[in-house]
């Protein structure tokens, strides 16, 4: 009948706890108790009477009112840098599952890699009094984050940490992942490895991976040589293409190590344009659903994304105060998924030529 006319719904007149109380002939308090944790305080009689009234009237408690007085919103905020990144989606999925299990509702905000937007989203989430925050930060909003921390809002940083912000962190064991990858490349007989990454831009996981790569390449100086290529913002990738061309020309056993899923995509596109998808070793951090289909199957270092997401939530509710003072930094190991892009190439193939 009176549907919203040209505007969205306003909080409509609902059945309230008051009316239920009246109908059941009990006090509001009892109804409230019935709804909450204190149901066990009520006698059988009251419980059944209230239950009946609720059913008869079709009463549904109002979470907004409950949040206001009760000081619990049962809302968790999540801010992600790029919702189109498969890693992000998988990880969100883990967080979401955990939220459901724990009775929280998740509010997801996407910053589209825009730091200004990150700040705005954080402010909105704060305004809604979320009880905790899972953030995949761009790392530029230290001020804002610091403020939230000081207010005592539980925060977990995923994949990336921010210098000077002392909060729980969950992410990949980047050193282990890089080591695993390089071990594998060496085993397969590759000699020269090009590590391709997006601009570091103060993002800790990117930096850690690069550092691990450089350190470990040095440690294997007899076996592997390494080089680094940073992609720029525009997606022209002309530089990438010529770099790959040169690598293919100059090295006898070349391989590319992709720092994450978006990089992998761009590298594959570049190799595809060169018609060289199967002529070079390829290993990538992040498993994607198409990993097995391209370049004879891309060898990946899979992140346990579900576990990471769940761990983020777990860390949040536990508050990380297991006694120790320092907030914990939990890391998860990557799993190697060997595929054709490394196992079917390199030394053997090249020694044939």
Partner DNA sequence: CCGCGATCTGAAATCGTTACCAGGAAGGCC
Partner DNA sequence: GGCCTTCCTGGTAACGATTTCAGATCGCGG
Residues that bind DNA (CB under 7 A): 11, 13-14, 16-18, 25-33, 35-36, 40-43, 45-46, 59-62, 65-66, 68-71
CB of 49 vs DNA, minimal distance in Å = 9
**Does the protein bind its own copies through residue 61 (CB under 8 A)?**
yes
Question: DSSP readout, 289-316?
Answer: TTGGGSTTS-EEEE--HHHHHHHHHHHH
Minimum Å gap between C-beta 70 and DNA is: 3
| Phi, psi for residue 74 in degrees, rounded to 5 | 60, 35
* SS3 category, 75: strand
Residues 91-150 that bind its own copies (CB under 8 A): 92-93, 96, 100, 105-110, 117, 123-124, 126-129, 131-132
Does the footprint of its own copies cover residue 79 (CB under 8 A)? no
- State the pairing for strand pair 254-258/192-197: parallel
Between residues 73 and 205, which has the closer beta carbon with respect to DNA? 73
Q: Is residue 194 within 8 Å of residue 179, measured between CB atoms?
A: no
Interface residue with its own copies, options 248, 317, 336, 344 (CB under 8 A): 317
Instruction: Choose the contact partner of 41 out of its own copies, DNA, none; CB within 5 to 8 A by kind.
Output: DNA
Which one of DNA, its own copies, none interacts with residue 46, CB within 5 to 8 A by kind?
A: DNA
One residue of 36, 38, 52, 65 binding its own copies per CB under 8 A: 65
Q: Which is nearer to its own copies, 113 or 220 (CB)?
A: 113
> What are the residues facing 324 on neighbouring strands?
none
Residue 36's binding partner among its own copies, DNA, none (Cβ under 5 to 8 angstroms by kind) is: DNA
Give the strand pairing for 299-302 and 335-337: antiparallel
Residue 52 interacts with its own copies (CB under 8 A)? no
Smallest gap from Cβ 128 to DNA, in A, equals: 12
324 binds its own copies (CB under 8 A): no
When the beta carbons of 122 and 224 are compared against its own copies, the nearer one is 122
3-state secondary structure of 227: strand
Q: With binding defined as CB under 8 A, does residue 294 bind its own copies?
A: yes
The β-bridge relationship of strands 105-110 and 281-285 is: unpaired
x-or-dash pattern for its own copies, window 153-172, by CB under 8 A? xx------------------
CA-wise closest residue to 253 among 287, 281, 223, 212 = 281
284's CB contacts (< 8 A; 6+ apart) are 257, 258, 260, 261, 263, 264, 267, 291, 298, 299, 300, 301
Q: Note every long-range contact of 309-312, with CB atoms under 8 Å and residues 24 or more positions apart, other chains counting.
A: 309/90, 309/91, 309/92, 309/93, 309/94, 309/95, 309/96, 309/97, 309/98, 309/158, 310/94, 310/95, 310/97, 310/98, 311/94, 311/170, 312/91, 312/94, 312/95, 312/98, 312/134, 312/156, 312/158, 312/170
| 344 scored as a contact of its own copies (CB under 8 A) | no
Of the two residues 18 and 273, which places its CB atom closer to DNA in the complex?
A: 18
Cα 45 to chain center, whole Å? 48
Interface residue list for its own copies (CB under 8 A): 1-12, 60-65, 67-68, 71-73, 83-84, 89-90, 92-93, 96, 100, 105-110, 117, 123-124, 126-129, 131-132, 151-154, 265, 268-269, 272, 277, 288-290, 292-294, 316-319, 321
């Amino acid at each position: 009948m009176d549907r919203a006319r040209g505007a969205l719904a306003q909080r409509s007149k609902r059945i309230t706890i008051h009316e239920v109380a009246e109908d059941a002939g009990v006090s509001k308090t009892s109804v409230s108790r019935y709804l909450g944790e204190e149901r066990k305080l009520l006698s059988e009689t009251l419980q059944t009477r209230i239950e009946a009234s609720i059913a008869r009237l079709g009463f549904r408690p109002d979470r907004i009112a409950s949040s206001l007085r009760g000081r619990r919103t049962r809302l968790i905020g999540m801010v992600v840098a790029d919702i189109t990144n498969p890693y992000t989606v998988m990880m969100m999925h883990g967080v979401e599952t955990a939220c459901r299990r724990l009775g929280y509702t998740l509010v997801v905000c996407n910053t589209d890699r825009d730091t200004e937007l990150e700040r705005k989203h954080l402010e909105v989430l704060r305004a809604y009094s979320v009880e905790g925050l899972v953030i995949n930060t761009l790392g530029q909003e230290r001020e804002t984050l610091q403020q939230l921390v000081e207010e005592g809002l539980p925060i977990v940083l995923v994949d990336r940490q921010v210098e000077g912000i002392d909060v729980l962190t969950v992410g990949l064991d980047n050193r282990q992942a890089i080591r695993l990858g390089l071990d594998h490349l060496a085993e397969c007989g590759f000699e020269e490895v090009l590590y391709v990454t997006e601009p570091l831009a103060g993002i800790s996981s990117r930096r850690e991976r690069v550092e691990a790569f450089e350190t470990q390449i040095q440690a294997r100086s007899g076996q592997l040589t390494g080089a680094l290529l940073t992609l720029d913002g525009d997606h022209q990738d002309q530089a990438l293409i010529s770099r790959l061309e040169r690598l293919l020309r100059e090295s006898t056993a070349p391989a590319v190590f992709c720092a994450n899923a978006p990089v992998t995509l761009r590298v594959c596109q570049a190799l595809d344009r060169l018609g060289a998808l199967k002529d070079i070793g390829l290993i990538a951090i992040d498993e994607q659903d198409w990993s097995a289909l391209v370049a004879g199957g891309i060898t990946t270092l899979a992140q346990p994304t579900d576990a990471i997401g769940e761990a983020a939530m777990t860390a949040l509710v536990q508050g990380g105060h297991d006694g120790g003072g320092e907030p914990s930094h939990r890391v998860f190991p990557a799993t190697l998924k060997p595929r054709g892009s490394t196992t079917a190439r390199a030394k053997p193939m090249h020694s044939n030529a």
